[in-house]
Amino acid sequence: MQLSDATYTATRRALLAPGSEQLIDLAFRMALGRPVGPELSEARDAAVGLGWLKPETHTFKPEGRLLADSLREYQFWQQRNRKLPLEGQIAYHSQAYYSGKSVTEIGCGYGSNLYDIRRTAGSVIGVEPCRVYHQMSAILAEREGVEPLNLRWGRAEEIPLESNSCDLVLCVSVLQYTDVRAAIREMARILRPGGELQIVGGTLGAFTYDCAKPMLKGSLRSAVGYTRTIVDTLSYMGVGRRLTGTISNPSTGFPVYPTEDIMKRWLRGAGLIENRPPARAWPETVFNYRKPEA
């Protein structure tokens, strides 16, 4: 899915115009399910005119939801002063650590992490299957006054890069939406001997204990979604497939959260060696592995 030429042109114009902060705030609030007050009514009308929202219900159209997802991440990036999400929490997730390395991020979205990493890295590549995110990356780079990122269309299960081509592969809060074992094998494939893999993602324990209360106390839909995720995770760990549905490309539906021990087993099975013990960055876990030297 991608924005039509007309929608892309209108969206670019709107997001580069003075006063676009209200439009971004609207998308941010709606993407998080937060209430939208009357102070954003003009922005909501503008979003309808841009084709992001359905005029009769003021709910997202499919492409509008993807567009708002980029703006949600953009707003989060601004709120953390344009730093990496774990900067200051994990020493090896920082601009300084990536200095001089060739870095590839899998499932990079519009590319906020890469904006930071490329300030010190030798080179950066983003791999992303959603074409709307590619389009938003170009618009937001222009808004920030920086050079566009080097993004490639591709899925985590079929990364469009040569084997042994990257010093470091990064995957942040994306792995749960993929065919996890296939994605790990692909990330291991593109690493150079001695290269490093960093995965930031949820595990079953964290999902069960940290997410159970809010989801089960929420709507029936939330409770059903929570139960479905547990079932899919157990079936994926057991037989290698989701029991209640299949993922589409791109999709944030049907996530799975393998246990920490299972993740370690799959990473070792891909020929990788633990570089550092898993680190907790609530509510996610950071796995740090490397490819053996030739």
Q: What is the pTM of this model?
A: 0.92
Mean local confidence (pLDDT), 176-196: 97
| 234-289: pLDDT as tens digits | 999 999 999 887 776 556 678 999 999 999 999 999 999 999 999 998 889 999 99
Q: Number of C-alpha atoms within 13 angstroms, CB side, residue 68?
A: 25
Distances (CA, A) of 48 to 52, 99, 126, 239: 6, 43, 31, 44
In the predicted structure, residue 219 carries a pLDDT above the cut 80: no
What is the Cα–Cα distance from 44 to 188, expressed in whole angstroms?
44
pLDDT of residue 22: 96
pLDDT of residue 253: 74
pLDDT of residue 217: 62
CA angle 81, 85, 88 (to 5 degrees): 80
Q: Which CATH superfamily is domain 83-294 in?
A: Vaccinia Virus protein VP39 (3.40.50.150)
What is the Cα–Cα distance from 12 to 16, expressed in whole angstroms?
6
In the predicted structure, residue 216 carries a pLDDT above the cut 60: no
Query: Tokens representing 131?
Result: 């074409």
The structural domains of the chain, with segments of one domain joined by +, span: 5-79, 83-294
